[in-house]
Amino acid sequence: MKKYYITTPIYYPSANFHIGHCYTTIIADALARYKRLSGYDVFYQTGTDEHGLKIETKAKEVGLSPKEYVDKIIADAKDLWEKLDISYDYFIRTTDKEHIKSVQQIFKKLYEKGDIYKGEYKGLYCVPCESFWAPNQSSSGKCPDCGRDLTRVSEEAYFFKLSKYQKQLEEHIETHPDFIEPKSRKNEMINNFIKPGLEDLCVSRTSFKWGIPVDFDDKHVIYVWIDALSNYITSLGYPKETESFKKYWPADLQLVGKEIVRFHTIIWPALLMALDLPLPKRVYGHGWLTIDGGKISKSLGNYKDPREYIDAYGVDAVRYFVLREVPFGSDGNFSEEALILRTNNDLCNILGNLLSRTMQMAIKYFDGKITISDKNEKIDNELIITANNLKDSVDKKIEELKVNEALELIFDLFRKCNKYIDETTPWLLSKDEKENKRLETIIYNLLESIRKGSIMLNAFLPQTAKKIFKQLNLEEQSFQDIDKSENYNVGLEKPEILFKRIVK
Ligand SMILES: [Zn+2]
């Protein structure tokens, strides 16, 4: 069995998650489900990056220990993922005991190899962003990210020899065109960061405590990189040579937001090279989902708990919007108006309407019992061909991570079905006894197209697909069922409305 290892970034739980976190997680979920339906042994991992000064500070503000503080947020996040039907196989937390132990072993391994050495860190530090800046990165003394004042710091620290891997990294990127995607981000990494020269990286701190201690020098805690990035291998048991590590590593696809592409395509591969491990096959930097055109944050006042959208419009309306609205590499915008528009136009008018019309005709004219038919005319064959070709064309889009276009193809089939009803005019045929067989053929073709479309929809809108199969009186189907011919002569179930039109 072929394997597929897909990851989201581990999110920073300094506050409850917003729709932007849902975006990456839903897309990864759809891809993971798609691969499972294609017969892959899938490992889908998400999780949280829980250490660092920011969380230490936030927890203190509300009178909790850092662990108590993150525990609450993680419980909330897991509830959110459940409500969104996120089918992750593993949720890693960087406060997990096994992760902590593995990270200490990795740190020691690199130290013993000589790739980590002790030095002195001099630079500027932004407390809210938890970012270090070299003096040449900020002439004004302000944080280039947030504009706040930087603090001058100097302390003993361990460094990772990132510079040592510059050449090897450049070579890898050049010889593996799929390693960094989309292409624009690859060029940005090469020209803006790698070519100008990589500097060694500060990988420990002594100025805060909420982190994994360096076990051979415990006044230091491991700073961000080795702790956070190695989650993708510690979850599989590394440095132990476990079965799951041997099976799933290297990752097939790592999804990351564009702001962390640099860490995942420069620091992460260099660490893997230092550990003599293969690199992930593909790192994809996607755009941001903004809200009403701006970044999402509680302090900006545009934060809304994603569960409010789920409760108001249904989980599949939210999933559909996120998957359909934004071309995956680009930035996109989330607004309630746009969500309503998508739900009404696509889910109600195209899909819901099609299912309801077809079901009603089948029940009214044939008591819900439709027999297989092969007496097709030209107009029938056109629809049948579209339905039969759907899987191949969606496969191609998924391979290119064009999830929105994959959904567009599926809805094109549903749109064609609606047009087919309009053009074959079943309501007229129903008035003529001699046209009975013709009428049944049309309804049969519609049911088969809906069935095939729903098999493809399963990865994206699992609950909707389930509801459709139920109405068709079929067991849930997978990709391997798509080419067979179904019979509907046992009778369809009672029709139910899939999506209610949203009036606001
Ligand atoms: Zn800052």
Tell me the pLDDT band of 74, cut-offs 50, 70 and 90: very high
The answer to whether residue 353 sits within a structural domain is: yes
Distance 57 CA to ligand 1 centre (A): 15
Residue 84 CA, ligand 1 centroid: distance in Å? 32
Q: Note the residue count of the chain.
A: 504
- On whether residue 75 sits in a domain, the answer given is no
Q: Quote the ligand 1 centre to 127 CA distance (angstroms).
A: 7
Expressed in angstroms and rounded, the spacing between residue 200 Cα and the centre of ligand 1 is 21
Residue 154: pLDDT band (50, 70, 90) is confident
Cβ atoms 498, 464 nearer than 8 A: yes
Integer-rounded Cα Rg, in Å, for the chain is 26
Residue with tokens 């100025």: 207
Does a structural domain hold residue 170? Answer: no
Would you say the C-alpha torsion 376, 380, 381, 385 has a positive or negative sign?
Answer: negative
Residue 366 is part of a domain; what is its CATH number?
A: 1.10.730.10
Distance between Cα 142 and ligand 1 center (Å): 8
Q: For residue range 381-427, what is the model confidence (pLDDT) as tens digits?
A: 999 999 999 999 999 999 999 999 999 999 999 999 999 999 999 99
Distance 134 CA to ligand 1 centre (A): 13
Residue 414 lies in a domain: yes
State pTM to two decimals: 0.93
Could you read off the pLDDT of 320-353 as tens digits, one per residue?
A: 999 999 888 889 899 999 999 999 999 999 999 9
Domain count for the chain, please give it. 1
355-366 core/surface letters (b: 16 or more CB in 10 A; e: else) = bbbbbebbbebb
Ligand 1 midpoint to CA 130 (Å): 7
Question: So what's the pLDDT on residue 326?
Answer: 87
Query: How many angstroms separate the alpha carbon of residue 305 from the centre of ligand 1?
Result: 25
Counting runs of H as helices and runs of E as strands, what totals does the chain give? 20, 15
Domain that holds residue 455: 336-481
Q: How large is the average pLDDT for residues 83-95? A: 98
How far apart, in whole angstroms, are the C-alpha atoms of residue 199 and residue 159?
Answer: 10
pLDDT at 81 over 80: yes
8 is a domain residue: no
Q: How far is the CA of 67 from the centre of ligand 1 (A)?
A: 24
Question: To the nearest whole percent, how much of the chain has pLDDT over 90?
Answer: 83
Does the pLDDT of residue 298 top 80, yes or no?
no
pLDDT, the chain, mean: 94
The Å distance, Cα 222 to ligand 1 centre, comes to 21
* Cβ-proximal residues to 474 (8 Å cutoff; 6+ apart), any chain: 451, 486
Instruction: With beta carbons less than 8 A apart as the criterion, state whether 238 and 251 touch.
Output: no
Distance (Å) from CA 156 to ligand 1 centroid: 22
CA of 125 to the centre of ligand 1 (A): 8
Domain assignment present for 427: yes
Angle at 247 between CA 242 and CA 250, to 5 degrees: 105
Q: How confident is the model at residue 121 (pLDDT cuts 50, 70, 90)?
A: confident
Please check whether residue 241 lies inside any domain of the structure: no
Q: Tell me if 200 is assigned to some domain.
A: no
Distance between Cα 124 and ligand 1 center (Å): 11
